[in-house]
Amino acid sequence: MATTRIDLDGRPVKPITICMIGAGGFIGSHLCEKLMSETPHRVLALDVYNDKIKHLLEPESLPWATRIQFHRLNIKHDSRLEGLIKMADLTINLAAICTPADYNTRPLDTIYSNFIDALPVVKYCSENNRRLIHFSTCEVYGKTIQSFLPKDSPLRQDPAYYVLKEDTSPCIFGSIEKQRWSYACAKQLIERLIYAEGAENGLEFTIVRPFNWIGPRMDFIPGIDGPSEGVPRVLACFSNNLLRREPLKLVDGGKSQRTFVYIKDAIEAVLLMIENPDRANGHIFNVGNPNNEVTVRQLAEMMTKVYTKVSGEPYLESPTIDVSSKEFYGEGYDDSDKRIPDMTIINKQLGWNPKTSLWDLLESTLTYQHRTYAEAIKKAMVKPTAS
């Protein structure tokens, strides 16, 4: 770790204390790793679970042991929250329900988790003059203007109608009965509240809109590193199918288009936000990789090839099957057609650009998941003997 870090304007970066809510999750675990290994900053790590950061907490002889503290709490009902925020210079809120299958089946939990539960965090930061980096979602954009144009319209080829810009793109959602938009609406409303706190009460904030961050420790593989029941996001769903030698399920033909960015690239962007507050405050940032755009069907095909390489297992005779969104997610599901981030603002303010190709990030992720799955199966086969 460098003794003195320099910000983008050539000034020394002062060590700060960060209250990280949701530190035990996928993004939080990678951010904690980065902060411990490369910076002098201190982290108050808040979460219900710490499995993904246990390697940073034990043993006490780790070189950063005095710079990270784990606090097991649920922000819904814990009186310690305000005190921990007051102890820090910066709060990063990563807590959320962000699994598409839950948006239909648990819309109330989704709205409460992403809006109601986030309210005290915003309130405490504003009242105590603490800076806030809040993690939102690319889903706040909803559907593109392109999706409403006639199929034969030449405007469909114009990026102005489908590339998503933080400061100009509208947020277009489906009807109220399409409960899939409960997540996006809750996330947009908390964004508006944060923005209003900044305008009226001087809250120093940065809002992050992640576009499909991918890498080791993401989501869960049902029954292996997560609950036995449940439907994780698309990449983890496909990973689960590959690991279990099952066909990959393509919802509504896999026509939707998505972009994917490697978690380590994305964490570099977050570190720039942390250490360059003058450049990041008051901004909303897309963090994604427009060069890694594929349809969900193309993603399935590429993952099948990558997995065959990392596992040595042969292709399935029928590698994919088509399922309807109603069958897979239930009533009330709806989807956005494509999500391609405009990178102008983050490039201008922070000089950040993603580096990792889709193939390389899939290879890293699937290598980790194949190893984790193999270890879990091996462990499950070692049963204790009767005494």
Q: Where in the sequence numbering do the catalytic residues fall?
A: 183
CA–CA distance, 251 with 161 (Å, rounded to integer): 24
CA–CA distance, 300 with 294 (Å, rounded to integer): 10
Contact 107, 46 (CB under 8 A): no
Which residue has 């329900």 as its token pair? Answer: 97
CB proximity list for 378: less than 8 A, separation 6 or greater: none
CA–CA distance, 52 with 63 (Å, rounded to integer): 18
Q: Can you name the residues that pair with 132 across neighbouring β-strands?
A: 91, 205
Contact 263, 213 (CB under 8 A): yes
Contact 207, 283 (CB under 8 A): yes
Structure tokens at 24: 């035990």
DSSP 86-146: HH-SEEEE------HHHHHH-HHHHHIIIIITTHHHHHHHHHTT-EEEEE--GGGGBS-GG
CA–CA distance, 23 with 270 (Å, rounded to integer): 14
Residue 289 identity = N
